Chains A and B, each alone.
Chain A
Amino acid sequence: MSIWSYANPRKFLDTTAPWVPWLMWLAAAVLAVGLVWGFFFTPEAERFGSSVKIIYLHVPSALMAINAWLMMLVASLIWLIRRHHVSALAARAAAPVGMVMTVIALITGAIWGQPMWGTWWAWDPRLTSFLILFLFYLGYIALWTAIPDPDSAADLTSVLCLVGSVFAILSRYAVNFWNQGLHQGASLSLDKQENVADVFWVPLLVCMAGFVLLFLALVLLRTGTEIRARRIAALRARARRVEPVRA
């Protein structure tokens, strides 16, 4: 059985709906473990003090902010190529979640930046590109809500998502050119030697897993909601068509 069989909205709903509560609880449990471990059972890093602990919110939310856009990009491509409605609705469902992740990353970054850099905000490349990513999310969501016809909306937002992805990457490197920043480079990777110490790395991984699970649960839930909303709209439209005949 191929993965495309889940493009059938009913099959998608029947399969995912029972999973959503479990995913929610799993995400909550993993997040609780990761956050409690990170906040209370890790030593304070030298030079950083306890302020470093916001990393357990900051890094996973930033990760998901970017990955949500990537998921929207893939879903948009699937919609444009294979015309599966579930895919378009999943992209629509992921956008607000990704936007909230971006906001969380920006706010926790500001809270972290205040004691570390002595400022809430700096026009640093990473910070700036996240702000721009937030604007892209805003435009994408606004376009979805502005177009009444669902298929046109899916098409146009998919095209915007493709073009926006190119420009988001362009902006990412353009701001590098424009200002060298305060933000540290990537210190988390699977292959490099100079990683953060394991005491911080392991709870951070747990938190990342929790955010991924949370994202999955929210997107599946919201996609299901969108499918049901689409059905209700179809039923209403049918009822409206029938009424004049009765009268």
Chain B
Amino acid sequence: MRALLARDLRLAVRAGGGFGLGLAFFLIVVVLVPFGVGPETAILARIAPGILWVAALLAALLSLDRIFALDHEDGSLPLLATAPLPLEMLALAKALAHWITTGLPLVVAAPLLGVLLHLPGEAMPWLLVSLAIGTPALSLIGTFGAALTVGLRRGGLLLSLIVLPLYVPILIFGAEAARRGAEGLPAATPLMLLAGIGLGCAALLPFATAAALRVTLR
């Protein structure tokens, strides 16, 4: 599993993979918002947590179809499936690799973009914590969606249609935690719910992903 993880990370970083692309997309979305809603500091500070969360979600979505598509095209997916590693662990490793190449950079970049959007300073730690807890769940759900649509033409569009509704609870709790942090309210409850969803996803979704992969590889 560690070898697979290292392989995926190397592929993402080297071969002009999605690494950095999601980050750039995150930046562009956040930069576009003030053009859309106007430059008033108060409005931007009010909507900043929500914008950052939605942008992170879209950026994570962008690289989902690459999780299995490249392996499917060059035929390494069947090989991985016949390896001694169970498919469930393969799914988990893929999700982890996706998170490290997409989710983690987003978390790191979020404070910088928060400054661009005049996010209040006291909200910053809450935003970071909520993103750090929530983005792994985004990767896990996305891996499931990618397994459902691997090998389909028009897969990317379908993938977003399937995955985005599944993201709703995470977006709600994540943005709610950041918003409460920004208003100085206690934000522990949404964070705990967010963590609960994340752990539930990590425990159960690899099985669904593996089931979908078995169907695709049949």
B152 and A147 contacting across the interface, CB-CB below 8 Å: yes
B99 within 8 A of A: no
1/0 contact string of A133-165 vs chain B (CB within 8 Å): 001101100110011000010011001101110
1/0 contact string of B157-192 vs chain A (CB within 8 Å): 010011011101100110010000000000000100
A128 CB → nearest B CB, Å: 9
- B152, B168, B208, B215: residue with the most chain A Cβ atoms closer than 10 Å: B168
B183 CB → nearest A CB, Å: 15
B197 within 8 A of A: yes
B148 and A152 contacting across the interface, CB-CB below 8 Å: no
Using A152-B215, A163-B208, A170-B197 as known contacts, say yes or no to A146 and B169 having CB atoms under 8 A apart: no
A146 and B152 contacting across the interface, CB-CB below 8 Å: yes
Q: Which residues of chain A are within 8 angstroms of B211 by Cβ–Cβ distance?
A: 155, 159
Q: Which of A155-196 contact B (CB under 8 A)?
A: 155-156, 159-160, 162-164, 166-167, 170-171, 174-175, 177-178
Q: Which residues of chain B are within 8 angstroms of A160 by Cβ–Cβ distance?
A: 148, 162
Using A159-B148, A159-B208 as known contacts, say yes or no to A177 and B193 having CB atoms under 8 A apart: yes
Question: A167–B218 Cα gap in the complex (Å)?
Answer: 27
A33 CB → nearest B CB, Å: 37
Q: Which of B23-40 contact A (CB under 8 A)?
A: none
A139 and B161 contacting across the interface, CB-CB below 8 Å: yes
Question: A171–B148 Cα gap in the complex (Å)?
Answer: 21
B113 CB → nearest A CB, Å: 23
Q: Which residues of chain A are within 8 angstroms of B161 by Cβ–Cβ distance?
A: 135, 138-139, 142
1/0 contact string of B61-82 vs chain A (CB within 8 Å): 0000000000000000000000
Using A155-B215, A159-B212, A163-B166 as known contacts, say yes or no to A177 and B148 having CB atoms under 8 A apart: no
- B149, B154, B155, B166: residue with the most chain A Cβ atoms closer than 10 Å: B166
Among A152, A159, A162, A167, the residue within 8 A (CB) of B165 is A167
Among A152, A162, A164, the residue within 8 A (CB) of B216 is A152
Q: Which of B185-218 contact A (CB under 8 A)?
A: 190, 193, 197, 204-205, 208, 211-212, 215-216, 218
B165 and A177 contacting across the interface, CB-CB below 8 Å: no
A142 and B212 contacting across the interface, CB-CB below 8 Å: no
What is the number of residues of chain B that contact chain A, defined by CB distance less than 8 Å?
28
Which chain A residue lies CB-closest to B173?
Answer: A174
Question: A132–B166 Cα gap in the complex (Å)?
Answer: 9
Question: A135–B164 Cα gap in the complex (Å)?
Answer: 9
B212 and A177 contacting across the interface, CB-CB below 8 Å: no
B209 CB → nearest A CB, Å: 9
Which chain B residue lies CB-closest to A162?
Answer: B208
Question: A163–B204 Cα gap in the complex (Å)?
Answer: 9
B144 and A163 contacting across the interface, CB-CB below 8 Å: yes
Q: Which residues of chain A are within 8 angstroms of B208 by Cβ–Cβ distance?
A: 159, 162-163
Among A142, A159, A167, the residue within 8 A (CB) of B168 is A167
Among B172, B212, B216, the residue within 8 A (CB) of A174 is B172
Q: Which residues of chain B are within 8 angstroms of A152 by Cβ–Cβ distance?
A: 215-216, 218
Q: Which residues of chain A are within 8 angstroms of B154 by Cβ–Cβ distance?
A: 146
Q: Which residues of chain B are within 8 angstroms of A178 by Cβ–Cβ distance?
A: 172, 176
A146 and B215 contacting across the interface, CB-CB below 8 Å: no
B162 CB → nearest A CB, Å: 4
Q: Which 7 A-B pairs have the closest CB atoms?
A: A174-B169, A135-B165, A139-B162, A155-B215, A170-B169, A174-B172, A171-B168
